[in-house]
Structure 1
């Protein structure tokens, strides 16, 4: 039975992740400072052996308390650093100082590092560390104090940890706007206008916590299928949007995340990628590898043609996943074409979002279909319906 420790597990994304992993048979060690809500979460976890789960009430800004965690848990296959807080003062950065500032940094940035150090004796070889950052770490959100800075710091910390600890599989998840209790409080306080928020999201809606739980489930359980150091923005495309025209609210509802994947492979001139496909009825998806085989200087044209082909066959609720070459060793004369192809992925995501059509790409240094299959299927499938516009590099 695999085991996971999840922080910030009493509510929101952490609670949804615990519920999802428990349904898959994981033993969950849940950590939060809200003891009552944490106990309710543990009591509500599915499975006939509910007693296998453990609740640990703890303030993660308390350095000494973190140091005791290894004594309170057994071996861990995964650590999900999800706990975090936002600034509620609505003050400019230069007017902030004191305990609130320090507490935010202690929880959002310092605690994940301390947890890895404290729990290292319990992390099994190849354990997955999933650090939950935020889209605020990719672009600044003003009047939220050190929030954006702390989440950018967590992204940098995660990448450095991946380099420093090859015995671990480290990933960093960057959610966009998710209808958690925290977001609901910001809306109620008048600090967040949901209409203005969704106008900046190509998919035209906020995510539900369960959608981020699907991403955590994949990252925590995928073992070697996730390249260490992977940054995964699950944000409805908001991180790739740079226009001034707002998006209309979504009119196409997501399908259930457990919907089977129907993945068709096209453009496979090498006959290496066909085994990645999955046939049958379900969530419609296309894996197009034609840009990988296109000669240098023709990748933009290949992505454009793949998009046109996909759009002729799908009008709503489907995904297109592309495979692009990495730019290592690329002739400088072709580098602009490859960069343009990546930006076209983002542009397509913005134009297609209203119809729940998604597009993403992997940028690969080597063609390894078998190794990449789990990641490609996750990106293409119904469990990743809030993932769009991303080009993920795979070394």
Structure 2
């Protein structure tokens, strides 16, 4: 029921047909430790916006979500492979049919390459149609004597460093919803033409927006904002409001696993998010960095395998390899991205886990944001076409080069199994 009110939903726990999420409601996260949220100056305006959004149609269907859930379960058994990728953060300014088509074309080419190499179906999961909010390391942002709220993505505020742009505005959620709706419509037409389904994902960060798009259907609560949501490395701590929000949803969920994550904390999250050990429910997105993956990944694999938990192991070789160039640009070296990818596959294989997915920040546009590649981007070229609003993305050539590497590594693991 697309119009189920959050007030009504909060009065009763949700049964999804497989389990009861005890004490959970779409708003029970408010009783937990809530971090990485904007400070809206007008709480009444925020409440009015979320009430209105709660009556809007959902963006994705329960049946689509269930199809993805089943496919991810196949990937856990080496019978499919997950390709998750797209923009670091979607922007209102760069929204266009051409941008969507370029991203879809790149993902389709990468998926085809991977399918030929591995001999298994490739799940296409886009970071799109909802990836508008971004966590921040520092808030406020300080430039000289000026202190302003940090830019938290176009769904919250503007990137321009002035008071009007940086003031969080709940009305931006409606523009994000409208852009996500249009993006999904175009993606669906493109996927029908190619005959390959494509699903959407984003970080479940802005909890007021996410809660407004929870829907209840056939006794099950699910996010209608995307087929797949993940919990970020900054919001997966003990007592997290974001973990509480995700635990009651029927959607498959991801957990970003950075180098600070201890095995005991990971197991506690798995107990909260997947008490019934459902195949396809949880994807662990490993983002350690090339220097730390050897030390930090094996203990996580051993802890999960010791308890026989079904998870999908996916590699995010982007976030742990971010540096600032001498010229001041945030960048990533393709060489380091490839190094972490190789070690991810090698460590998973050595520890008896199935390396079943990749999670990338990439674009079909010819950007110069990451260095390296067969047609190399040098550090002195970064300013030529550096367009990202947040983190550096692989361009199409770099992404295809990485996909070729992943295809060979994945094929080798299948042959050795």
TM-score bracket, normalised by the shorter chain, equals 0.3 to 0.5
- Tell me the TM-score normalised to structure 1 length: 0.33
Larger relative contact order (CA 8 Å, sep ≥ 6): 2
- Tell me the TM-score normalised to structure 2 length: 0.31
